Amino acid sequence: MDNGVEPNVMDEAVKRLEDEVRRVAVQAKELQEAASSLIAKSSNEEQSIRQRAASLDSTFRCLRSSIDTQLQAEAPRFPRFPSLRKAGGGIAESEVYNG
């Protein structure tokens, strides 16, 4: 050959490069599949967490409503806490700490 490299040596070098390209292509495909799987799994977990958070928020709102209803019912028994008679109920911090 003109470049001083024998054909067999050149063929071996090309074959090694082809093998390396194949190996890298397989690794890239495996990485892409792993990333796709992770994205799908993360998306499913995120949806599950969102549903749990929405459920907990709903439970919290119901509990707060029940507490407010109970406080309204109990307001006549606690004249010292006028905020119990207001909409929303609850005892104001200033009512607790005013001697």
Tell me the two tokens of residue 52: 């749990």
Residue 68 makes CB contacts below 8 A (sequence gap 6+) with 88, 89, 90
pLDDT of residue 91: 53
Please, are residues 51 and 31 in contact by the beta-carbon 8 Å criterion?
A: no
Nearest to 91, CA basis, from 62, 66, 72: 72
Task: Report the pLDDT averaged over residues 79-87.
Answer: 60
pLDDT of residue 39: 94
Q: Residue 1's Cα: distance from chain center in Å?
A: 62
pLDDT of residue 99: 43
Task: Report the pLDDT averaged over residues 53-63.
Answer: 95
The residue with greater pLDDT, 83 or 97, is 83
